[in-house]
């Protein structure tokens, strides 16, 4: 059995590394992208912020069917109300603020809430806890892209730096 607390703690860790990636990336180069058809680094970070915040807010608000034709419009209503373009420091701060706010609100919910079934936007029927796990996995995917961008700039991601420091100390 997967515990809600474990999923929330893991998501917070993932988010901290996402925010750190934003802080580590050259602040003047948020428009960098690996190829013309990909999102920029800044767009990836903003997408993580918007999607994570909106999807978890929809869960908290009791939205149980995400297959409606107006799903994208509904998502927009739950996005953080921020200017479209954010500088790196603000973006990293908002990523941290959002995860703290959303995980605190989710932590206050009981196990019955998380065992409730919803319909995800792809039509799959999942528990709210499974949806929360999906939100975290979505962020991991984009964080990996952000880490690749860091590497392209010659920057070692925080997760690797921690592992290397641990190996040196062992």
Asked whether residue 131 carries a pLDDT value surpassing 70, the answer given is yes
Query: 19-65, pLDDT tens digit by residue?
Result: 999 999 999 999 999 999 999 999 999 999 999 999 999 999 999 99
Distance set, CA 97 to CA 69, 91, 104 (Å): 30, 10, 11
Asked whether residue 170 carries a pLDDT value surpassing 70, the answer given is no
Angle between helices 4-24 and 41-60 in degrees, nearest 10: 160
Asked whether residue 150 carries a pLDDT value surpassing 80, the answer given is yes
Contact (CB, 8 A) for 132 and 11 = yes
Contact (CB, 8 A) for 144 and 158 = no
DSSP assignments along the chain, one per residue = ---HHHHHHHHHHHHHHHHHHHHHS-GGGTT--SSTTSPPHHHHHHHHHHHHHHHHHHHHTT--B--STTHHHHHHHHS----SS--HHHHHHHHHHHHHHHHHHHHTS-HHHHH-EEE-TTS-EEEHHHHHHHHHHHHHHHHHHHHHHHHHTT---HHHHHHHHHHHH-
d(CA 145, CA 142) in angstroms, rounded, equals 5
pTM for the model stands at 0.93
């Amino acid at each position: 059995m997967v515990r809600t607390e474990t999923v929330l703690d893991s998501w917070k860790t993932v988010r901290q590394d996402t925010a750190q990636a934003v802080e580590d990336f050259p602040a003047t180069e948020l428009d960098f992208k690996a190829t013309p058809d990909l999102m920029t680094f800044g767009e990836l970070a903003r997408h993580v912020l918007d999607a994570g915040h909106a999807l978890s807010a929809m869960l908290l608000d009791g939205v149980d069917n995400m297959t409606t034709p107006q799903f994208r419009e509904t998502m927009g209503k739950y996005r953080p109300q921020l200017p479209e373009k954010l500088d790196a420091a603000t973006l990293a701060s908002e990523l941290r603020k959002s995860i703290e706010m959303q995980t605190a609100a989710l932590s206050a919910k009981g196990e019955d809430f998380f065992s409730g079934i919803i319909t995800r936007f792809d039509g799959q029927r999942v528990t709210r806890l499974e949806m929360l796990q999906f939100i975290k996995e979505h962020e991991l995917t984009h964080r990996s892209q952000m880490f690749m961008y860091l590497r392209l700039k010659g920057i070692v991601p925080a997760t690797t730096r921690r592992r290397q420091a641990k190996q040196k100390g062992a």
